[in-house]
Amino acid sequence: MSYIALYREWRPLTFDDVVEQEHIVKSLKYSVKSGRIAHAYLFCGTRGTGKTTMAQILSRAINCLNPQNGNPCNECDICKGILSGTILDVIEIDAASNNSVDNVRDLREDVVYTPACTRYKVYIIDEVHMLSAGAFNALLKTLEEPPSHVVFILATTEPNKLPATILSRCQRYDFRRITSGGIAARLHTICVAKGVEFEEEALHLIAGISDGALRDAISILDQCLSIGNGKLKYSDVISITGMADKQIMSLFADSLIEQNISKIISLVNQIAVEGKDISQFISSLILYFRDLLVCKLIGESPVLSNVLDVPSEILKTMNSEAQRLAKDEIVGILNELSDLESNLRWLSHPRISLEISLIKICTKILTQKSEPTYQIMDNIQPMYDQKPQCTVGSPVEQNIDITVAIWDNVLKELNKAGKNPLCSILRTAEIVNLNENCIGIVLPGNEGANKQIISQHDNIKLLENILKRELQGKDIKVKCLIKDDLKNIKKSIS
């Protein structure tokens, strides 16, 4: 027999086996016991929380010949046939690859036929939000007036993308992220059943990495067991996942607190030599400082160990580090690292960018939220009065005073509009008055790539519209420059 992946081998077969999600289990079991079966269900939630598994259990439970307290018996011919795939009355459809109108039309033609050997014909449509607009319209008619022998179970990670007409015709169930404790307990059960020795710290680390997705956690466990050591160690999980452990995170935190730049550079080099992914490391560092912020806000309270779910000795170290930092300093560090993470895909040298960000934090160059990092260069205005260097809009009565307050509001509006990468670039820019109707955004150094991003038509238009609102209806043009552009403009004027 071929090898079966661990997450498939340990997929729950009854409602009672499902980890957490009690609010959904209770409702579905009652529906099965009472015979009140809806014609359409919608299962929503992030990946790995049990949506497809629950749909498969429900499809057997409503067709089982001998249900046990709302659970499928998994022993009758119907249950065995559905499990083995020999009974074709339960159909699973991947909407990501079958999302056209024609696919749904074929489904509509198929639903009119009665099931071959079960009570209900069940259609499980996974990632249903991937259907096209036309496919949704075609599906709607079937959901409005379905045959009595048909049950639809729709599963999605993005319910906000479903039309309201579809949502209103389904019983909706929202799956919660599984807690770290629940995931660790399930991993414990698997390891005991498999006869695998393990370190509790390793289980908790996997649970933390999986971010509420049990399937991801079991897959990581499977990968860790594949090295064949016969024992699950904390160090193995660190090595296989490419994570930086809490001890390394603690060393980074201490170095930042002590402003030890040489130690910071050495630690970054260690991360690079060990082959760890810079993006993954930044994400881990963000999570670590988030935990420090929680320590700072909650203090040494019994609640803290439940919130953070880390070993007591590590928690003690984190508490100590948190007390050496002010709350605003931790928030500032999180902002700097989050900006770096959001811009990482645009950067050619992630390691260098990480070093620069850490040095900025280390040397207190990092600006607090209340203090914008850009500069206002009002003294350049007279130079451009002689020879305008950009296309102007409608004339205004007075020169533009782009005060700090107004530009700060511009950045806040960009954040609200979901333009976080653009906002991060603009925080390092200098603002100059090119003439009374035009401002220049001057980027430091030779940031040609960032200039191209800002200069995109949609981004310039958005900036001009925000400025117009902030300046009470005045039309203002925006031009993006780099330092060399500014030098060339000065030469042309002189």
SS (H, E, C) 261-282: HHHHHHHHHHHHHCCCCHHHHH
Beta-ladder partners of 43: 155, 173
Query: Could you identify the residue written with the tokens 């940031």?
Result: 447
**Residue 388, both tokens:** 């305008």
Nearest to 121 by CA among 130, 129, 111, 131: 111
In tens digits, the chain (494 residues) has pLDDT values of: 567 888 888 999 999 999 889 999 999 999 999 999 999 999 999 988 999 999 999 999 999 999 999 999 999 999 999 999 899 899 999 988 888 888 888 888 888 889 989 999 999 999 999 998 888 988 888 888 888 999 999 999 999 999 999 999 999 999 998 988 889 899 999 999 988 888 888 888 888 788 788 998 999 999 888 876 778 888 888 777 766 667 788 888 888 888 888 888 998 998 888 777 888 888 889 988 988 888 888 877 766 766 776 667 777 888 888 888 888 888 888 988 888 888 887 777 888 888 888 888 887 644 443 344 444 444 443 333 333 333 333 333 334 557 556 888 888 888 777 777 778 778 778 888 888 788 888 887 666 677 777 888 888 888 888 888 888 888 888 888 877 666 666 444 44
Q: What is residue 239's predicted lDDT score, i.e. its pLDDT? A: 77
DSSP letter (8 states) at residue 68? B
The pLDDT, as a whole number, for residue 71 is 94
What are 42's strand-pairing partners?
154, 172
Q: What is the DSSP letter of 490?
A: H
Query: Which of 225, 346, 203, 358 minimizes the C-alpha distance to 281?
Result: 358
pLDDT number for residue 388: 33
- Angle in degrees, CA 28, 31, 37, rounded to 5: 110
- Please answer whether residues 344 and 350 qualify as being in contact, where contact means their C-beta atoms are separated by less than 8 angstroms: yes
